[in-house]
Amino acid sequence: MGMDFVFTVEVVGIALGVIGLILTIVVCALPTWIEITIIEANVTTTEVVTYGLWMSCVAQGTGQTQCEVYNSMWYPARAMFPTAIILGVLGVTISMVVAKCTNCIKDETSQTKLIIIAGIIFILAGILILITLFMVTITVQINYFTQSKGNFELGNSLYFGWVAAALLLIGGFILCINVGVFGWMMGIFGWIVSLVPCCISVLFILDPYRDTWTFLMTTSISSILGALGVMGSIFGTRCCNCIKSNRTRVKARFIVGIFFILAGILQFTTVFLNYYLTHTFPEYRRGFLIFFAEHSRWAGSMLLIGGTILCCSTLKKKPDSTTTKSISH
């Protein structure tokens, strides 16, 4: 029964990753990321302009549609989205090869390690998609399309992109949960996301604003604590075998959880500081603050969840040795 449950969970994680990959490819190809409806007095002259990563289309009221490749301002998005697709393909390939239903790899230890790698790749792909969607949405809303005439709307592709990212993240987490490393993964990826606000605060420090030092201090300390937690995660897992004693491994897990929790608290502190100090920055810089706050919220949530799971996992009581001896006799 236990093996059937593990097999089912594994299949669900792989299936979510496959569906997320297919949606990612569709979203990357569709030119419906942004929609602008230009309404004129004459219905036949009304136009709907849609923008994607690679091309823009104009649908006229007469029913004619013209599409052309254009020089997009989303150059980072054009790099990150194909990278997410490549990671998704790699994750699907590895997960299918090492799945228990294929029996391509007989060794259970090797299967476990490769399943973890596949889950990590799915999560990385999902994070890349989320960063791309945040970047495109915030940049467009603040800097570009809000100044154009017509009704501005986010296109359907962005919503499908959120779904694709969610499926990849959930599929990756399920694969990692299946082998018992969910707390480690949440903390590690929370630290990776927290590096984005840290880099933004470094850019802000170039401005002559005294309050930017507060952002730099909190994000830097959070990144250092997260890095300590990541190093402890790497050396404290069973697959690494750097720590032989089970008792020492439990203590290391608890310390890593505390590091992640402290880093998460500092991330949320930067979010509160962000809202408190936003009015002190010029209007053209507030878009960066919104981008900063979104990443800090995501990073803080993952760090807190991962740290809490790791700390709670150390509270499991093991059966007393005398009880086990009596049962064995």
Q: Among residues 306, 288, 286, which one has the least CA distance to residue 298?
A: 306
Q: Residue holding tokens 């799915």?
A: 122
What confidence category does residue 35 fall into, taking pLDDT thresholds of 50, 70 and 90?
A: confident
**Per-residue pLDDT tens over the stretch 139-194:** 666 655 555 566 677 788 888 999 999 999 888 888 877 555 677 777 887 888 88
Which H or E element spans position 127?
helix 108-139
Do 101 and 16 belong together in one domain? yes
First to last CA, the chain: 27
Q: How many CA atoms lie within 13 A of 186 on its CB side?
A: 28
- Read off the DSSP letter of residue 318: P
- Of 115, 147, 180, at which residue does a domain stop? 180
Sheet with 34-38, strands from edge to edge, namely 65-69, 55-60, 47-51, 34-38, 151-154
Q: Are residues 176 and 188 in the same domain?
A: no
In a domain, 329, yes or no: no
Determine phi and psi for 50, rounding to 5 degrees: -120, 145
Q: Do 150 and 244 have their domain in common?
A: no
Whether residue 289 lies inside any domain: the answer is yes
**Predicted pLDDT at 170:** 86
Is residue 217, in this structure, part of any structural domain at all? yes
- Residue 304 inside a domain? The answer is yes
Give the CATH number, domain containing residue 232: 1.20.140
324 pLDDT above the threshold of 50: no
Residue 153 structure tokens:
């709307």
Are 47 and 61 within 8 A, CB to CB?
yes
Q: Please tell me whether residues 143 and 248 are part of one structural domain.
A: no
pTM: 0.66
pLDDT reported for residue 3 = 56
- Residue 211: what pLDDT? 57
Same domain, 131 and 84: yes
Confidence check: pLDDT of 25 > 90: yes
Give the tokens for residue 60: 């006229």
- Residue range 8-18, pLDDT digits in tens: 778 888 899 99
Position 67 in a domain = yes
Question: For residues 44 and 138, which has the higher predicted lDDT (pLDDT)?
Answer: 138
Where among 158, 180, 202 does a domain terminate? 180
Is 327 within a domain? no
Indicate whether 147 and 22 sit together in one domain.
yes
**By C-alpha distance, which of 79, 25, 85, 78 is closest to 53?**
78
Find the domain containing 239 and state its range. Answer: 182-322
Measure CA 231 to chain center: 20
Task: State the pLDDT at residue 321.
Answer: 43
Higher local confidence (pLDDT), 320 or 207: 207
Higher pLDDT, 132 or 4: 132
Query: What's the pLDDT score for residue 329?
Result: 46
User: Do 96 and 225 belong to one domain?
Assistant: no
Q: What is the pLDDT of residue 201?
A: 63
- Are 132 and 69 found together in one domain? yes
Residues 16 and 141 in one domain: yes
Number of structural domains, the chain? Answer: 2
Q: What's the pLDDT band for 23 if we cut at 50, 70, 90?
A: very high
CA-closest candidate to residue 140, choices 23, 52, 211: 52
Average pLDDT over residues 117-124: 88
On whether both 206 and 242 belong to a single domain, the answer is yes
Do 112 and 126 fall within a single domain?
A: yes
84/208 same-domain check: no
- Asked if the structure places residue 211 within a domain, the reply is yes
Q: What is the pLDDT of residues 70-113, one digit of tens each?
A: 776 677 788 888 999 999 999 999 988 887 666 677 777 777 77
Helices 156-178, 108-139: axis angle to 10 degrees equals 150
Show which of 139, 157, 180 is a domain's final residue: 180
Encode pLDDT of 214-272 as tens digits: 667 777 888 888 888 888 777 766 655 666 677 777 788 888 888 989 988 988 887 77
